[in-house]
Structure 1
């Protein structure tokens, strides 16, 4: 277990492109998207937190027991606000943190094996950020060194972690997730991945 690493799962969005479906609760591997993300994260560290916003009460009822949740009342402001609130909360809970891994709820192919690979790269201490490669760009999942957490707290709009990564690209190691990085934004995406 990587106890000096905490994981923040971003799950506050309203899934507006999903019609009436709540993305976090879409069925996936005998669980849901969010349940699966939590299970993968918990295989890596006990310090796992979930940011919720839209449909929070409904989602909370479906979470595995003992899940640490953080409420983002400003979830409509976008991913940056969830990161900011989440990082601030985690820093109040945890003193000895080397890094924070940020992941989203809508990448169901990501697994504990990939997250552990990221952490192994981070622990070499060669880079302040280890991020997932999207061609020439980098994004989440990504691990940020503790020295970068204040920068993440300053995110209040819909910039997200990609903004911090691109500002610090020289200190970033990009990793290939070998196709596991696919994110599910629409019901068509979802049906394609389950078929």
Structure 2
């Protein structure tokens, strides 16, 4: 069964001062780091959703495969999640592991643990003690429901709260802190 990666990298990074996809962290762009994390975690190439500065991101990271531009990126992460899931519809993927571009502490091992539970009906989140976080796995059977409820910056949050979700501990191998401002880098 194929599990695809889905990197949400469309925001303009208002608090950061620039699109986070273009931020350099440990020698690579955050968008390259996210794609590599998925690949090393055993997840097939999937989709990178771009928006703000999409052409600059493509120029800075020419090795990105499977990019899609979300024309509604300014409305929030929900529209990027919808755009990414729509792009995966035409593939053979039965599940998608979702990563946010601004979480470089999520590791390939965390992705492997989450992806190990992939199935068309799966909903899986990384567990950090009592808190749920990324990576998130969405089985294909849930894509339409997630897309229908993904609005603003809430992404899949409302859908996941309304359904049974398997929480897999990953806090021992990952950190899902997001980089909101340059001091976080």
Kindly tell me: are residues 64 and 186 of structure 1, through their superposed partners in 2, closer, same or farther at Cα, counting changes over 3 Å? same
Larger radius of gyration: 1
How far off is 1:115 after superposition? 0.5
The structure whose residues are more often helix, as a share, is 1
1:115-134 map, 5 Å: 115-120=111-116, 122-123=117-118, 128-133=122-127
Moved over 3 A (4+): 134-137
Query: Does residue 86 of the first structure (1) align with residue 84 of the second (2)?
Result: yes
Secondary structure of the corresponding residue to residue 151 of structure 1: helix
Deviation string 1:126-176 (CA, Å, 9 cap, x unpaired) is: x821102355442332001221111122145212122221111x3332433
Secondary structure of the corresponding residue to residue 102 of structure 2: coil
TM-score by length of 1: 0.84
1:1-195 map, 5 Å: 4-19=2-17, 21-43=18-40, 44-92=42-90, 94-95=91-92, 97-120=93-116, 122-123=117-118, 128-133=122-127, 136-158=130-152, 159-168=154-163, 170-178=164-172, 179-190=174-185
Distance 2:167 2:126 in 1: 8
Aligned residue pair count: 181
Unmatched 5+ residue regions in structure 1?
191-195
